Amino acid sequence: MDILTKADLELLICKSEHQCVSIYMPTHRTGVEIQQDPIRLKNLLGEAEKRLSDQGFGPRDVQKMLEPASKLLPASYFWQHQSDGLAIFLSANISNIYRLPLSFEELVLVDDHCYIKPLLPLFTGDGHFYILALSQNHIRLLNGTRTCVSEVEIGKVSGSLDEAISSDDHQVNLQLHTSGAVGGMTKDGSVTFHGQGGGSDESAKNALLRYFHLVDDGLGEFLQGDGAPLVLAGVEYLLPIYKEANTYPNLIDNVIAGNPDLISAEELHKSAWDILEPLFQAAQNEAVALYQQLAGQASERISDTLEKIVPAAIAGQIETLFVAAGVQQSGVFNLATNEIEIHDQPEAGDEHLLDLAAVQTYLKGGTVYVVEPEKVPGGTNIAAVLRY
């Protein structure tokens, strides 16, 4: 599985002078359905080719734009290492491919910006988290949502915990690779850390602490700007030492105790969700209660109109945002005048205004909840609590 970072999201939402092809499709980890996934992608690429041609792109330009995804069709290794969904973004200047723990509906869009709303569950405050599994043999990072989990490809850790403890002259080399590269292969954004140490007078704890500082440095680079909770899994004596080294701000106090080498990803997911679900639900309940309290006071700190919410999101004023799942609203936002024009039907140059508000809220440090339409407080498709 690949990591979609905050920096990736900022790149994807930027309007461009080039058209962007956004493709979403479900994928399968096992079973005969794996053989159908490349066929599904081939059909979606055919639809993208038709739409680009209808917009005046010549055959060579179309082929060049779609080539990074077309190369995946015969790549059996790629299809045998999937998560739950595939998201592809192609234009003249980007070619990003992500295997993600979300099962998408099939979709092809061609517009002057990438369509990112199906990705929002990875950035909302109601169910995205990480599990860091620490064992004597290796380190695993898992990315979870409410319904599923996948192991993140983080390269390899050369230098086990045993080596960190026992070697008199050890060197620990941790390589973390960001993903989302063309062809689904890991792009070389590696960060390498070297830890020198050893000596008979050093305690095992100090050796472990140095090792975990290296791991923490790598994760800090890897998860930079990510606000998702992180749950630790490992044997009990390792976990407090890692907590001492940790600098990630959203590390959860409760842990999954036991040797994670003996625990499947699905079991780790269930244990982590048992820890996190009450926290997620309590935070959302508190956010709804605050909105209702402010509404009862006729406070200016709440809004349920796009005309107020979109400019506030871009200005970083929104503390909490509720957005209706499965709902779209097309229109145009003029950054110079802070004015919005809402359209009943999509028009050329339109933006997806609910998406715009959600992504900008997330990027500016707010919390986003994508909920069923009937659960948006205020009875509209969007509602916000403002910081001021």
Question: What are the domain boundaries of the chain?
Answer: 6-122, 129-278, 300-386
Nearest alpha-carbon partner for 194 in 178, 171, 177:
171
* pLDDT at res. 15: 67
**CATH entry 3.30.1330.30 includes domain 300-386:** yes
Q: Which fold has domain 6-122?
A: 3.30.960
Q: Which fold has domain 129-278?
A: Nucleotidyltransferase; domain 5 (3.30.420)
* pLDDT at res. 160: 57
* pLDDT at res. 60: 94
* pLDDT at res. 178: 34
Query: Same CATH fold, 300-386 and 6-122?
Result: no
* pLDDT at res. 189: 31
Rounded to two decimals, the pTM is 0.69
Q: Which residue has the tokens 């600098």?
A: 247
CB 89 within 8 Å of CB 21: yes
* pLDDT at res. 284: 92
* pLDDT at res. 183: 34
pLDDT tens profile 175-223: 433 333 333 333 333 323 333 444 433 567 888 888 888 888 888 877 8
pLDDT tens profile 230-239: 999 999 888 9
What does the alpha-carbon distance between residue 321 and residue 304 come to, in Å, rounded to a whole number?
10
Residues of the chain where predicted confidence (pLDDT) is lower than 50: 156-159, 168-201
